[in-house]
Structure 1
Amino acid sequence: MNIFYNKEGVGDIFLISLKPVNHANFTYEKKDDVVKIVNSETGETAGFNLFNASNYVSFTVTKGLVDLTEELVAKLNEIINSHGFTDQLTADLSPKFVVGYVKEKEKHPQADKLSVCKVDVGTEILQIVCGAPNVDAGQKVVVAKIGAVMPSGLVIQPAELRGISSQGMICSARELALPNAPEKKGILVLEDTYTVGTEFKY
């Protein structure tokens, strides 16, 4: 689950995303300030819009991603249920940007410029397809896990690149919008002092 807010661009609205929208068709059910968005092809709840959000919850962000907490999720469930919906929101509150260690790197069988990497993120080994020319085994890197929201607004989702599944992204300094990020292509390689599995804050 991710929550986006942009008062100047959209208005005083929480955009609550539960599922990737892709190109599916949707139906909408509005009850006062709460709108439920349903994928009409699968019947799954794709998200909610909460209008006049500042009247219901306290938050500090004016534009961008809203930090999720147990308290906020509980409050949103209370709001949604009080408006007549029976859904229960859940959120993975674990860090989405973490330090990873590239254990293996192999050439993609269907693409010369892609590599298939096995990356240790502390709690699991992720398979990530990476197009950076400088990625290699033995590096510590920044991994955007599934559900991470990049500074550009891109939400990281499970993907399949030329027939190979990819469960996250190995990030460059430019993709992380770090100051003085190099223009040339290449992932950010971290110093060895970083601990695998810890949150990478930027």
Structure 2
Amino acid sequence: MLIASYNPQSTGDTMVLIMNPDVTDQQVSIHDDVARIFDEKTNRTLGYNFLKASEILPEIVTENGQVNLTSEQVQKLNDYLTNHGFPGDVEFDDQPKFVVGYVESLEDH
């Protein structure tokens, strides 16, 4: 799962990345204008907040809402993360997240 959102009217120059579902016990590590949210027990990254996102990805300033990141943009984010002491663990994901199914039959049970 990778959901990126940039809404400068509401959150300023902050891009929010959601990478994994929330857990009860979360921790946050903040430095160099990045906040990493992670699972306290497993250290798995749940998401990032890039606090000066347009300095890393200047092209996003025209965005408002969900951002469909390219593989090149994900690589830029990972480069920034690794250069600032974070794991470069953002994975490119271009698969659709809305799936439509067809119910063939329905029975009471």
Q: How far apart, CA to CA, are the structure 1 residues paired with 2:36 and 2:67?
A: 19
Which residue does the alignment assign to 2:91? 90
Amino acid at match of 2:31: K
Q: Distance in 1 between matches of 2:108 and 2:16?
A: 37
- Higher normalized contact order (CA 8 Å, seq sep 6+, divided by chain length): 2
Q: Which runs of 5+ in 2 are unaligned?
A: none
Structure 1 length as normaliser, TM-score? 0.47
| Corresponding residue for residue 51 of structure 1 | 51
SS at match of 1:89: coil
Q: Is the 8 A contact 2:25 2:41 kept in 1?
A: yes
Runs of 4+ deviating beyond 6 Å: none
Amino acid at match of 1:90: E
Match of 1:104, SS state, is coil
- Write the distance in 1 (CA, Å) between the matches of 2:14 and 2:38: 18
TM-score by length of 2: 0.82
How many Å apart are 1:18 and its aligned residue? 0.7
Cα offset for 1:90?
0.7
SS, match of residue 27 in structure 1: strand
Q: Hey, which of these two has a bigger chunk of helix by percent?
A: 2
For the structure 1 residues 32 and 103, does the alpha-carbon distance in structure 2 shift closer, same or farther, using more than 3 Å as the test?
same
Partner of residue 11, structure 2: 10
Could you tell me how far apart the structure 2 residues matched to 1:20 and 1:54 are? 26
- After superposition, the Cα gap between the structure-2 partners of 1:104 and 1:40, relative to the gap in structure 1 and judged at 3 Å, is same
Distance 1:101 1:27, change over 3 A: closer
CA-to-partner distance for each residue in 1:88-137, whole Å, 9 max, x for gaps? 21132023346x5626233364xxxxxxxxxxxxxxxxxxxxxxxxxxxx
Question: How much is the aligned-residue C-alpha RMSD, in angstroms?
Answer: 2.0
1:30 aligns with 2:55: no
Question: Are residue 102 (structure 1) and residue 91 (structure 2) matched?
Answer: no
The residue type paired with residue 96 of structure 1 is: K
- The alpha-carbon deviation at position 37 of structure 1 amounts to 0.8
Equivalent-residue separation in structure 1 for 2:108 and 2:53 (angstroms) = 46
Relative to its length, the structure with more strand (as a share) is 1
CA–CA separation in structure 2 for the residues paired with 1:42 and 1:81: 20
Cα distance in 2 for partners of 1:108, 1:48 equals 44
Following superposition, the deviation at residue 46 of structure 1 comes to 0.5
Offset from partner CA, 1:60-91 (integer Å, 9 cap, x none)? 21x31011211111111111111111232113
Pair 107,87 (structure 1): closer, same or farther in 2 beyond 3 Å: farther
Say which one has the larger Rg.
1
1:176 corresponds in structure 2 to none
Identical counterparts, % of pairs = 32
